[in-house]
Structure 1
Amino acid sequence: MPLTGTFERSLDDKHRLALPKPFRDQILSDTETTLYAAPGNDRCIALYSAKSFQELADRLTKLSSAQSDVRNYLRMFYSQAECLEPDKQGRIRLPARLVAFAGLESQTTLVGVRDHAEIWETTRWESLLASHADEFDSLTTAAMQALEKQ
């Protein structure tokens, strides 16, 4: 089931973030209780289920490490990624390096993006929405054209 929805959450001073119940229900299961946090595009934190993270890792192994850009991406991505275990209250503790990478402060927004969630600093998320709202139709066209090429 694709991850969907938008939820505002506070990040406490220990970098703990309460996952909304709908997200927990979608991304975790009785047998899969770990998550992976990693640097995401546009300076957010990407949050993956263990299964989705493994699927991504499998796709990334197909990249040629002969290219400098690919090597640097893999270094940055994997060195910053971390396995997380939600506590009994459904909170995760985000690594300080990822909090700094994403510029997170106290107010965050979690968004579902099909196979993963993204954690954004709320004002940056609102700015991204505002800057792309008028482009939704052209973004839809570009996405559909990309699908047709596959």
Structure 2
Amino acid sequence: MNGFHGEYEATVDAKGRFLLPGGLKKQLPEGESRFIVSRGFEKCLTLYTMKSWETIIAKINRLNDFDPKVRQFRRQFLGGATEVELDTAGRLLLPASLKEYASLQKDIVLAAAIDRFEIWDAVKYKQLFEDFSPEDFSNLAKDVMGGLEDSRQ
């Protein structure tokens, strides 16, 4: 797999569950039903496959426990991480504390981020793009990608 792609809309029910969108589900490894959901870096949630999560945990395990920044990072990053599993109807249950952290309401967007998905409140997600002009995006692309070799050669 080269990475996840796309944006998918879903609706959270009164119990905090949402149906995993079909287009997203097609990108998952066969039989994948368990995930880790945690706080994202912005006010969103992050949904990891177990394989992606295990890769990250392996990296975190190699960090220096004697560094206070490492300890703080671990608390922030791992603090709300929760294992969730698809139910028989193909839904995931969002923990109430994480749902509150990301201010998720009824309508959400699952946005691909290569090896994971970000879960955003639909209004906040739309606002991200409305507040970011095409010129801003062009400048960001130059800053982030400009130093890479041109792979089209």
Fold match (TM-score > 0.5): yes
Alignment of structure 1 residues 49-64 onto 2, 5 Å: 49-64=49-64
1:8 equivalent in structure 2: 9
Does 1:144 pair with 2:145? yes
Q: CA deviation at 1:5?
A: 0.8
Q: CA deviation at 1:24?
A: 1.4
Alignment of structure 1 residues 1-150 onto 2, 5 Å: 1=1, 2-30=3-31, 32-134=32-134, 135-145=136-146
What is the root-mean-square deviation in Å for CA atoms of aligned residues? 1.7
Separation in 2, partners of 1:62, 1:39: 21
Separation in 1, partners of 2:148, 2:23: 28
- CA shift digits 1:89-128 (9 cap, x unpaired): 2110010111011010111111111000010011111111
Q: CA deviation at 1:145?
A: 4.4
Separation in 1, partners of 2:37, 2:114: 16
Q: TM-score, normalised by structure 2?
A: 0.87
- Structure 1 alignment gaps of length 5 or more: none
Q: CA deviation at 1:146?
A: 6.3
**Contact 1:24–1:90 (CA under 8 A) maintained in structure 2:** no
Q: TM-score, normalised by structure 1?
A: 0.89
Separation in 2, partners of 1:39, 1:119: 10
Q: CA deviation at 1:64?
A: 2.7
Q: CA deviation at 1:77?
A: 2.1
Separation in 1, partners of 2:29, 2:35: 8
- CA shift digits 1:39-73 (9 cap, x unpaired): 11111110000000001111222333333232122
Who wins on radius of gyration, i.e. which is larger? Answer: 2
